[in-house]
Amino acid sequence: MLTGYLGLGSNEGDRLGNLRAARDALGGRGVEVLAASSVYETAPQGEVTDQADFLNACLRVRTALGPEELLDAGKAVERELGREPGGVRHGPRPIDIDVLLLGGLEFRSERLSLPHPEVTSRRFVLEPLVELDPELALPDGTPLADQLDAVRDQPVRPAGSL
């Protein structure tokens, strides 16, 4: 069994309801949710900025799934909750589930990179990860809390609990 961290995001429909539904649905797919961060509201990041703000949160999970199997579980939940495959990268979506970290694994495939390449560059990912585990580090030993100062200029608003 490995401990991992997943990122959740939603900016369509009942955003908070979508995050909660994703958290609950993962349990039926070989993913035990151990803890959930607070929910944070953020402006869109990436190429498509003309869209609604996102609600984001992170989950600490335990699973026997491998990296690609965990990704598949997340993609299946996304489809169950109304996300259409394809679409514009960083575009609007009812739910997004990202595999951020899985144990101390470093993993690369066409579909997945671990740790997630944007873990240290996005405050809406770092803030909830450090909230879940202030001592959390990348596989190379880099403490995530030490990366927060570099992204403090990115607006993140607390938006309740998951």
Residues marked active site are found at 83, 93, 96, 98
How far out from the chain centre does Cα 118 lie?
A: 10
The Cα 15–Cα 56 span in angstroms is 9
Q: Centre a 10 Å sphere on the Cβ of residue 81 and count the other Cβ atoms it contains.
A: 19
How far out from the chain centre does Cα 135 lie?
A: 18
Helices (H), the chain: 15-26, 67-80, 123-132
